[in-house]
Structure formats: structure tokens, C-alpha cells
Structure 1
Amino acid sequence: MQSSSELFPVALVSAELRGDLTEDVYRLKPNNSPDSSVELALTRLGSLGRKAAGVPVILLHGSFSNRRFWYSPKAAGLGPYLARAGFDVWIPEMRGHGLSPRNLNYERNRVADYARFDLPAIARFVIEQNGSRPHWLGHSLGGITLAAALGGGYLGEAEVVSAGLFGSQISRVYWPLKMPPVEWSGRFLLKRMGVLSGSRLRRGPEDEPMGLGLEALRWYGLFGRFGERDNDWWAGLAKVTLPVLAVSAEGDHQDPPWACRKLFEQFSSERGAYLCLGRRAGFSEQFGHVEMLVSKAAQSEVWPLVLHWLEHLSLPDRHQKTTPD
């Protein structure tokens, strides 16, 4: 693997032109975790008309997903939108997703691994290549992973300008999981399955490892908490003062607005904004978990707000007052 980095081995897998955009795909081999086989695909989008790279933005996809959530084969999506606006856009794919190969211990992968090992490696490489600290935006599990990295102290001011969480929460209660027999049964079934099939569950194009499901069972169990045994991520969020944007959607039944807001309020951000996408806040529709970022309405109503946040670390005046849940 030829290296284009002084940090760890990196391969430039492809360099293409996509209309008015440049697309470079890297494969990183950080070798910073117990599983030395981990390799991460990282797509970089830039505007063909710009001579110098803009401010970097890292986009984290959610569960059962990959880079195509942000960047379609026809070069549409929030990623290209931000690249055309002058940002240096980076789209990682988590272990075993998209262009990232499955590591040897794929079935045991957890958010704890992404947060502790993978996001810091991605941050270091992006900063090395661009020279500036990045903004981070995460959807669903991507936002939860970003929150875990911040609350766990794996990412901080040296690697993050601001954090954006879209449809991300950790407070929704699943009462059956509070019953030990139900949790034990869930663990037994997950261990037999090995992976959670996105296609069979009709959740998305990618699979998820058993380890992720077991981790979630522990979070939502009777005495569960958001974190590891030796690191309380939820408590750690109260120490995070970085600018944070949290976005929920009225029509999101998977990650409801009240739970997304609770995650936002756990931060101690000096500059923060919470927004609930729905008609009560003046939007054309209620939006859903995916539609908040991937829809025609999102393109015209939500993407400009994301751009405004990245440029000013605030929302336009008409959205500064948070919407009640």
C-alpha cells in the first residue's frame, strides 16, 4: 500500500472528475486498534473551479448506509452541494460499509471502536491533507458516533470546529429491553445471526455487525448507559463546549424530536442551535428520518440552513429560536 501520508499507510484508490467536481477516494490503514486489518475508505469531494481547498467538512453516514447517503452516483446530495459552495468535503465509510472492506473482527465492531479509533484517525488525516480543523456532520448513528467520540474525549477542539447531529438520540426508552429475560434473549439471537441484514430488515443497502446490536442492548438495558464500562460518554458530553447544531424532524418516529433535543441539551456548548423540521417551524412538510437530508424539500429548505451554520456557526435569525417539541 503506497502512502500519501506521514501518519500511516494510505492508498489513493481513484481520482476522478464527476462533472464540475473532483472525487478522490483514499483507503486508510491506521493500525491503531486491536484489529490491525481495519481499513477505511474516505472520499474527498472538491470543486473543479477552486484552486485551493476550502474549510474541511466530514460527513458521517448512519446505520445500514454508506457514502451514497451524502453523495449519489449522479453527483447530487448534501456532499456535492457543500463542495460546490467551496468546502473541502470528506465522506468516510465505516468498517465494512461501502468501499471499506470488512475487517477480520467485523462481527464484533462497535460504536466504541468507531469513536475511539476510527474517527480520530480520519481527523488526523483530513487535518494533515487540508491544514485546517474540520466541521463534522453526522446522521443517525453517524451523529451518535460523533457524540460518543466527543463525550469520550477521543475528539476535541484540536480536531473539531463544530458538530452537527441530524436525527441522533440515545434517550428513547424501549421498555421490553428493561426486562432481563428479553435482553438475554436478544443477545442470544444476535450472537446466532452474526450480522444484521439491511436488505432483509428493509433498513438500507448495508449490513451491520452483531457487536453494534449487542452494544445497543447494553445502552438500553435495565442499568444501561451511553458509554463504556470505564468511560461514561453521556457524562462527558456535559464537558463539551464546542459549537453544536442538532436537527430533528416532526415526522421522525425512529428518533423523535424530544430525544434528539435531550442529546443536544446534554452538551455545554457556548454556541449551539436546535432545530425541529416541521410545519410548526415554517417548513413545507414534517420531514422524516431520511427525508430531513435526502429529499427535494431538504435540498431547498434544509441544505441552505446547513450551509449557513457552517459559515456562521449560527442559524438564520428566523430559526434562531428553537421550536418547542
Structure 2
Amino acid sequence: MQHQQSSDWLQVADYRLHLRQLQPVEPNGQRVLMLHGAIENSRIFYNEKGRGLGCFLADQGFTVYCADFAGRGQSIPAVSRSFNHSQQQLIADDIPALIRHLALAGPVHLVVHSWAGVVVAAALARQPELVPLVRSLVTFGSKRCISVQSWQRWLHIDLVWNRLAPLLCKAYGYLPARQWRFGADNEPAQYLLDTIGWIRGEPFADPTDGFDYRSACQPVRWPPSWHFAAVNDQLLGHPQDVQAFLAETGLSSGRYSLLAKSAGQLLDYDHISMLTAPEARQDHFPLLADWLRVQ
């Protein structure tokens, strides 16, 4: 491992967002902000043994910051009945605060997983003055709507996410995804409720104040972008839903790659293994590092 790890916290309103800094031994002067998806935290990108995309990029000379959203990971306080947090707060407050904080030393690369791609696009569309602070945008398995019809969708989305999860939020005051073993981290109740309409395919507008993100995306001059989908991601980031999200936001002008053996990869990747499989260090991780260097 050719980097050192440490933690810092960014104060936003009455809570603090955890930032895990991966500091390379020989920094190349470029910085990367990594943002996680729903029912997970920033450890999707790193661990203390040097695994994950964040660690790989740090070993390549990038200074990497892996952020935990409010209430998740090591952010303070942890999600609970007494600490709620909405999707709009994430879009309008937290993501802008993270970008501005790290961009004090110049524009940053954004690397995001799953639902983080949706909230990042919304944040940049809502506050387009942030766009010049973003050097590039990379998404992994990011989709807004789940359109595929399958037994997995019926079980995990229609039953668990759309019906069971709101009931659990009423009972616990938050979504206990870890306790119920369908996620790596818990979610604030309001955040969970805010996602349901978008996943169902309702308009890309803010459920709190009606802000029209779809329209706001159209004039945005997006930074250079690269979007990854995985051939075995048959639900949470199905390739057709990833492409629909890119078309809706105008991000389809960026580069798109399907991670599959048929495309020359060592594995047929899925929603999680695209970031965690050891084979990724020989497949798309080096290609991404090379691409980031020239953006």
C-alpha cells in the first residue's frame, strides 16, 4: 500500500460529514472525491488493507477523499430516530459543501457509485456554478429509474424498498438496513421516502420543493465524464437504466463502457464487484487512472 489513511470531518448545519483521506506517498497533484450510493457508505471505495478503487487511485498518486453522507459511515451523528435527513439536504447542502471544501485548492474529480450519480447530477444542475469546480465525473452503475421487469425487481424494489422499507421507517424512525441484512448501512427515513418516486419513474423533480432537475440539466455544460455499467447488474444499475439516466441528464455525451467478458474484461461484473473485485485492478481501474490523469 503506497498511501496513508486518515479521517477528517466537515461541519454542515448541525451534523458532520466524515471524509476518509487516502494520501499517496508521491502525490500527482490531482484530487478525487468519491461518493457512495444508497444503503452503503464510503467503504465501498476503500479498506485499511488497501483494497478498492480509492486505494488503487491513491497508490497511483491521486489524493482521494471518500465521503460518508449524513448519518452513514463515520459521519456524526449516526442515523437514528432523532436524526433524520432528506435527499434535498444532500443535493442542496451536503454535496455542494463537499465540492466547495475540496475545490479550495482547485477543481476535483468526482467518482460516484449507484444513486450518488443521481444526486450529484441534481446538485450540479441545481447549482451550476459548481460545475467549474469539477474536473471530471465518473459514475458506476448510476440510474434514476428502475424500468426492468423481473422477479428481482418485484422482490427487492416493489416489495422491500417501496413497501417494507417505509413500514420499517415508521417502526424504527429510520431504515435499519444493516439489521435487516439488505444493505451495508442504514438510511434516514426521509431520504428513503424521497427516493421511491424517482425509482418508480416519476418526473425528475424535487419531492420537497418541485425543482425541475430534468429541465435544469439541459443547459449544463458537463465536465468530461465516463460512465460504467456492468453486464451482470440486472437490477440496481441495469445497463439500459444507466443509459436512460445518461440520456435524461445530457450526460450521454460522455464516454460509456459496459464491464463484461465480451468487452475484454476478466469478469462479468455486477453492481458491487465493479468496485470491489480483485480483477478490477487489472481491468478498468488502470484505464480509469490513465483517463483521469489527462482530464
* TM-score scaled by length of structure 2: 0.84
Which of 16, 19, 23 pairs up with 1:39? 16
Aligned to 2:131: 157
Aligned to 2:229: 248
Which of 174, 177, 186 pairs up with 1:198? 177
The amino acid across from 1:211 in the alignment is Q
Against the structure 1 CA distance between its residues 44 and 184, is the aligned structure 2 distance closer, same or farther, given a 3 Å change threshold? Answer: closer
Aligned to 2:255: 273
Which of 93, 97, 100 pairs up with 1:124? 100
Q: Deviation at 1:222?
A: 7.6
Aligned to 2:204: 225
Is the partner of 1:79 in helix, strand or coil?
A: helix
Is the partner of 1:262 in helix, strand or coil?
A: helix
Q: Deviation at 1:156?
A: 2.8
Q: Distance in 1 between matches of 2:163 and 2:183?
A: 26
Q: Distance in 1 between matches of 2:9 and 2:232?
A: 37
Q: Deviation at 1:221?
A: 5.2
Structure number with larger C-alpha Rg: 1
Against the structure 1 CA distance between its residues 210 and 270, is the aligned structure 2 distance closer, same or farther, given a 3 Å change threshold? Answer: closer
Q: Distance in 1 between matches of 2:61 and 2:3?
A: 11
Q: Deviation at 1:70?
A: 1.1
Is the partner of 2:275 in helix, strand or coil?
A: coil
Q: Deviation at 1:116?
A: 0.8
Identical aligned pairs, as a percentage? 25
Against the structure 1 CA distance between its residues 282 and 197, is the aligned structure 2 distance closer, same or farther, given a 3 Å change threshold? Answer: same
Question: How many residues in Structure 1 have an aligned counterpart in Structure 2?
Answer: 282
Q: Deviation at 1:75?
A: 2.2
Aligned pairs (5 A) from 1:65-84: 65-84=40-59
Check whether the contact 1:120–1:154 (CA below 8 A) recurs between aligned residues: no
Q: Distance in 2 between matches of 1:275 and 1:159?
A: 25
The amino acid across from 1:241 in the alignment is R
Which of 267, 285, 288 pairs up with 1:285? 267
Against the structure 1 CA distance between its residues 153 and 28, is the aligned structure 2 distance closer, same or farther, given a 3 Å change threshold? Answer: same
Aligned pairs (5 A) from 1:199-214: 199-214=178-193
The amino acid across from 2:189 in the alignment is M
Q: Distance in 1 between matches of 2:65 and 2:83?
A: 26
Aligned to 2:241: 259
Against the structure 1 CA distance between its residues 215 and 285, is the aligned structure 2 distance closer, same or farther, given a 3 Å change threshold? Answer: same
Aligned to 1:303: 285
The amino acid across from 1:49 in the alignment is E
Against the structure 1 CA distance between its residues 174 and 303, is the aligned structure 2 distance closer, same or farther, given a 3 Å change threshold? Answer: closer
Q: Deviation at 1:155?
A: 6.0
Ranges in structure 2 where 5+ consecutive residues have no aligned partner: none
Check whether the contact 1:241–1:268 (CA below 8 A) recurs between aligned residues: no
Aligned to 1:110: 86
The amino acid across from 1:219 in the alignment is W
Which of 166, 169, 173 pairs up with 2:147? 173
Is the partner of 2:34 in helix, strand or coil?
A: strand
Q: Distance in 1 between matches of 2:113 and 2:290?
A: 18
Is the partner of 2:292 in helix, strand or coil?
A: helix
Aligned to 1:319: none
The amino acid across from 2:219 in the alignment is K
* TM-score scaled by length of structure 1: 0.77
Q: Relative to structure 2, which stretch is displaced further, 277-286 or 266-275?
A: 266-275
Q: Deviations over 1:35-89 (max 9, x none)?
A: xx21111122111234xx6111101112222232111121222112111212121
Q: Deviations over 1:80-116 (max 9, x none)?
A: 2111212121111111112111268865312221111
